[in-house]
Every structure is written in structure tokens, then in C-alpha cells.
């Protein structure tokens, strides 16, 4: 009898915890798919240049985004050792809080947005 009550209580506890475990992140970040040239940035850092946005939150973007966007340089975080792929044209999927916005009038160049790398694949062996 106590085993049945324990099992029933365990099932209810797991059921109550399940919705919170599956809730999407509300951190203001979106999943982006970018294509561009992978370059080294400093000793152990990486960046992308000539970036186009292919998808936002898994949905293909309108044709206007297919041309290089305002933020043509991106700083990459995570993704492991990307060194062997430097100089290749790559497609990267990751998370960022970047938003497309009109060019700001400022004397300073804008800081490149950051993308937390989740996946990377080579699109072409070179960037040209």
C-alpha cells in the first residue's frame, strides 16, 4: 500500500514539474542562422564577416535579409575549437539578442553583435 502511495505521489510530482522544464527561455534571445566567412579574432576567439541572416527562430527570413545586414561582423562564443575551419564560408546556428535596426548616426563604429554558437557547418571551402 505504501509503495502504491509513493508511486502515485512520484507521478504527481513529475507531472507538476514537467511544464516548467519544457517552458521556452524568456531571455530576449532568438535563434539565428547566419552564413559568412569564419575568421580568427585574437588568440582563441572567432568572428564572422560578410554575414547574411538565413533564418530567425527557425523560420526563413524575407529576401531583404539575404543581402549583407547592418551587422556584417559577428563575434562568436562557444562552439569548441573552430580553428580548423578558419577561412571557410560557414553556416552557424546560435542564440543572440541582436535586432535588425537602421544605421545609427555615431562617430564610433557599432560593436559587433555576439552569437552563442550551437551548431556550425561548412558551406564552402573558402570565403571567395
Average of per-residue pLDDT across 26-37: 88
pTM of the model: 0.71
Q: How many residues does the chain have?
A: 128
Would you call 30 helix, strand, or coil by DSSP? strand
Give per-residue pLDDT as tens, 65-78.
665 555 688 999 99
Average of per-residue pLDDT across 105-126: 87
According to DSSP, the residues that pair with 96 across neighbouring strands are 30
Average of per-residue pLDDT across 32-55: 92
Q: Residue holding cell 570565403?
A: 127
Beta strand ranges found along 10-128 (DSSP E): 30-41, 45-56, 59-60, 74-77, 89-96, 114-124
Determine the Cα angle at 58 with ends 76 and 47, to 5°. Answer: 15
Q: Are 48 and 86 in contact (CB under 8 A)?
A: no
> CATH classification of 30-99+109-124 is 2.40.50, yes or no?
yes
Q: Which of 12-21, 36-45, 102-111 has the lowest mean pLDDT?
A: 12-21
Domain boundaries, the chain: 30-99+109-124
Amino acid at each position: 500500500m505504501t509503495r502504491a502511495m509513493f508511486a502515485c505521489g512520484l507521478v504527481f510530482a513529475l507531472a507538476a514539474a514537467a511544464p516548467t522544464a519544457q517552458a521556452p527561455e524568456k531571455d530576449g534571445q532568438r535563434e539565428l542562422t547566419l552564413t559568412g566567412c569564419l575568421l580568427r579574432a585574437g588568440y582563441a576567439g572567432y568572428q564572422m564577416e560578410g554575414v547574411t541572416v538565413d533564418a530567425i527562430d527557425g523560420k526563413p527570413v524575407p529576401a531583404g535579409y539575404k543581402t549583407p545586414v547592418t551587422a556584417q561582423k559577428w563575434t562568436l562564443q562557444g562552439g569548441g575549437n573552430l580553428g580548423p575551419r578558419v577561412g571557410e564560408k560557414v553556416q552557424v546556428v546560435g542564440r543572440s539578442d541582436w535586432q535588425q535596426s537602421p544605421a545609427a548616426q555615431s562617430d564610433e563604429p557599432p560593436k559587433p553583435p555576439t552569437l552563442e554558437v550551437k551548431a556550425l557547418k561548412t558551406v564552402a571551402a573558402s570565403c571567395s
